[in-house]
A and B are shown apart, each in its own frame.
Chain A
Amino acid sequence: MLNRRNPQLNQHGELIHLLSIEGLPRAVLTQILDTAGTFLSVNEREVKKVPLLRGKSVFNLFFENSTRTRTTFEIAAKRLSADVLNLDIARSSTAKGESLLDTISNLSAMHADMFVVRHGESGAPHLIAQHCAPHVHVVNAGDGRHAHPTQGLLDMYTIRHYKRDFSQLSVAVVGDIVHSRVARSDIHGLTILGVPDIRAVGPKTLVPGDLAQMGVRVCHDMAEGIRDADVIIMLRLQNERMSGAMLPSAGEFFKSYGLTPEKLALAKPDAIVMHPGPINRGVEIDSAVADGRQSVILPQVTFGIAVRMAVMSTIAGNQA
């Protein structure tokens, strides 16, 4: 039937919110990555500030706790000279029974210019973007299993930094893909940027066959999944999935799918190893790999600040 226009683009096709990577034109992605490149140097200067968001208020709304992601958004916003307010909503208003949209209305009345939203339910940032004032921008900082677009973009930035050209790459995403918003955003980003070979690797409980509908090759065998890969993205295994009906134990998962130096040897010699953090050593990744020469886990964090600066400055410059 009828689907409305992609809600994160204005009528000129410019990005006004960042809700998901899915459906964004390649040019929009490339432009954000290019902009992020220019911000990298800012982060290396003695005075790490540019005035692009001076006078603007950025509200970090974290309905789900995440100190790390919130911190990177806070740093990014401050380096753009914005005023940043952190609201730990997980422990305040919703606990008092206030509805999501009432919370948003109240905060809008405080003249917020941008909401950075993390929420446990897929689609919550879409709902907020639909209901906030037209001048307010929304950045999805992770919603349910749906999307974590800034993580996806920083992963794309990292891959481009080390591999330059997307069009010849084999990328393996390994672990709990069905519950992972990072995996979904990575898969969309890789697809849009033209990666021809994307593999989703893990047991059937975490990588069900329907994932092939996203345009990936589903592999239940680790060796097959990472053989000759240029990029290996390891996902974090959440504690609650380590024992129960999804997996019998963390140890058994490590045995089949944990990335060890021996398994890594199956990939291309110059393959890079990525992880969105925080890592579980000895669960999805061996310390020797996490700290090894092929690991780019820490550069990912550095690039993450620049990419978030690029996202915030881009959407703040576009009008609904």
Chain B
Amino acid sequence: MRIAIRNGRVIDPASGRDEPADLAIAGDRIVAIGEKAAGFEAERTIEATGLVVAPGLVDLAARLREPGQEHEGMLESELAAAAAGGVTSLVCLPDTDPVLDEPGLVEMLKFRARKLSRCRVFPLGALTRRLEGQALTEMLELTEAGCVGFSQVDVPVTDTLVLQRALQYASTHGYAVWLRPQDAWLGKGVAASGAVATRLGLSGVPVAAETIALHTLFELVRATGARLHLCRLSSAAGVALLRQAKAEGLPVTADVSINSLHLTDVDIGYFNADMRLTPPLRQGADRAALQAALADGTIDALVSDHNPVAEDQKNLPFGEAEPGATGLELLLPLALRWGADRGLSLGRSLARVTCEPVRVLGDVLGSLASSAGRLVEGGVADICLFDPQAEWRVTPEALSSQGKHTPFAFGSTGMGLRGRVRTTLVAGTIAFDRRP
């Protein structure tokens, strides 16, 4: 289909373009931006006055809960949530049931996602079989099946010899390893160590759980040369170590979740299980360091850490509740809120959820690497149109995801957020359209 988007404010964070312009799409490509789009004959015209026309968002961490956990979320509902959130590419995690450790499972997931054509799905494969931290997976086969990297999600490899070998092997083939820095033993608590956990009598996760793991990982990266992506940093001390590692020139990148970026352990209040998250929410100084690191580029990308959790898994005492929160539909407004709080331009705020995560993924995206997360003539037409002024409240009814639990929906009214997606295009096809 030939689509014209007229009179929008076109923002391409990668090039710095931010101006009123028209945009012409034919097939799955953007064919013209600005004056060249003037005479374009469209079958459908989208009137975008007052809207921002931005690249579709790229989310480096979303659980779709398939296969195996369909009661928590399903491909259909969660990819609909992605589209409703303006997310056109997402990286999904391998801690499904069964674990994504076999090429057949990855191919099936990619196939089913492609059929829904709501969002591009890039799975991470398991780094070790069944995530058990013992035997390596067939990384070559998994990559051919479509995996973009290898991860242990929330199950640290406790055996450092295995970890070293996994990094050596991945590095042999140039595959990226995605790990959340967490010491297996110190990380066993349910809330961040500190005044809140002490007062509430919740078992704590000290900052050392993150920093010890970071020290270990950086040593192994030095020894193996493996490309490492650090998932969900949570502490100021972790940020400081990452900054040093980057200054040293280690091949590392990192992300932070919308939850750690905006919340602290004080938000746990009276045992609110919606604040039960992994990694746990830390203190104000940690949040400030994460916000600053995302602004100065020490942290490369902002992620939704989307994890739909069913009602019966959340309505439990805090420590027994399943960690996680829905997030795909909150990524855009929470990126904008962070940017607005810091006085950043829209383009700079959007970079952390568009072109920067694409840079983290790198060559593994193949031909997409040069145009996903950007608006370029001849590039893929993955586009998010949003109203930057629209205010909405995070209530269960306002979310497409099957997961209704989010820290941002507390109270009966939900938190007020600014910035709402109007239309999402994936490969030139309308994946989501909200009536104004």
A-side interface residues toward B, CB under 8 Å?
1-4, 6-7, 22, 99-101, 119, 121-124, 126-127, 131, 143-147, 181, 184, 210-211, 213-214
Contact B195 A210 (CB under 8 A): yes
19 contacts between A and B (CB under 8 A): A1-B267, A22-B199, A99-B315, A101-B315, A119-B317, A122-B200, A122-B319, A123-B200, A123-B317, A126-B270, A126-B271, A127-B273, A127-B316, A143-B201, A144-B201, A144-B202, A184-B199, A210-B194, A210-B198
With contacts A4-B269, A4-B270, A122-B318 taken as known, whether A147 is within 8 angstroms of B198 at the C-beta atoms is: no
B-side interface residues toward A, CB under 8 Å?
193-195, 198-204, 263, 266-267, 269-271, 273, 312, 315-320, 410-411, 415
Contact A123 B198 (CB under 8 A): no
Q: A143-B317, A144-B319, A145-B202 are in contact. List 12 more A-B contacts (CB 8 A).
A: A1-B415, A121-B319, A121-B320, A122-B317, A123-B271, A123-B319, A127-B273, A143-B201, A144-B202, A210-B193, A213-B198, A214-B199
Roughly how many angstroms separate A1 CA and B263 CA in the complex, as a whole number? Answer: 8
**Out of B193, B201, B316, B320, which one reaches A145, CB within 8 Å?**
B201
Q: Which residues of A contact B263 (CB under 8 A)?
A: 1
Q: Which residues of B contact A181 (CB under 8 A)?
A: 201
Contact B317 A131 (CB under 8 A): no
Roughly how many angstroms separate A203 CA and B198 CA in the complex, as a whole number? Answer: 16
Shortest Cβ distance from A6 into chain B, in angstroms?
8
Number of A-B contacts (CB under 8 A): 82
Q: Which residues of A contact B202 (CB under 8 A)?
A: 122-123, 144-146
Shortest Cβ distance from B173 into chain A, in angstroms?
40
Shortest Cβ distance from A211 into chain B, in angstroms?
6
Contact A124 B315 (CB under 8 A): no
Q: Which residues of A contact B194 (CB under 8 A)?
A: 210, 213
Contact B312 A99 (CB under 8 A): yes
Contact A124 B317 (CB under 8 A): yes
- By Cβ-Cβ distance, the 6 closest A-B pairs, closest first, are A123-B271, A145-B201, A146-B201, A121-B317, A213-B195, A124-B317
Roughly how many angstroms separate A184 CA and B196 CA in the complex, as a whole number? Answer: 12
Shortest Cβ distance from A113 into chain B, in angstroms?
23
**Out of A2, A99, A184, which one reaches B201, CB within 8 Å?**
A184
Closest-by-CB residue of B relative to A101 is B315
Q: Which residues of A contact B320 (CB under 8 A)?
A: 121
Shortest Cβ distance from A208 into chain B, in angstroms?
8
Shortest Cβ distance from A21 into chain B, in angstroms?
11
Interface centre among A2, A4, A99, A121 (most CB of B within 10 A): A121
Shortest Cβ distance from B78 into chain A, in angstroms?
25
Q: Which residues of A contact B270 (CB under 8 A)?
A: 3-4, 6-7, 123, 126
Interface centre among B201, B266, B269 (most CB of A within 10 A): B201
Contact B195 A3 (CB under 8 A): no
Q: Which residues of B contact A3 (CB under 8 A)?
A: 266-267, 269-270
Contact A122 B410 (CB under 8 A): no
Q: Which residues of B contact A7 (CB under 8 A)?
A: 270
Roughly how many angstroms separate A123 CA and B278 CA in the complex, as a whole number? Answer: 19
Closest-by-CB residue of B relative to A99 is B312
Q: Which residues of B contact A123 (CB under 8 A)?
A: 200, 202, 270-271, 317-319
Interface centre among B269, B315, B317, B411 (most CB of A within 10 A): B317
Shortest Cβ distance from B267 into chain A, in angstroms?
5
Roughly how many angstroms separate A248 CA and B354 CA in the complex, as a whole number? Answer: 54
Shortest Cβ distance from B209 into chain A, in angstroms?
15
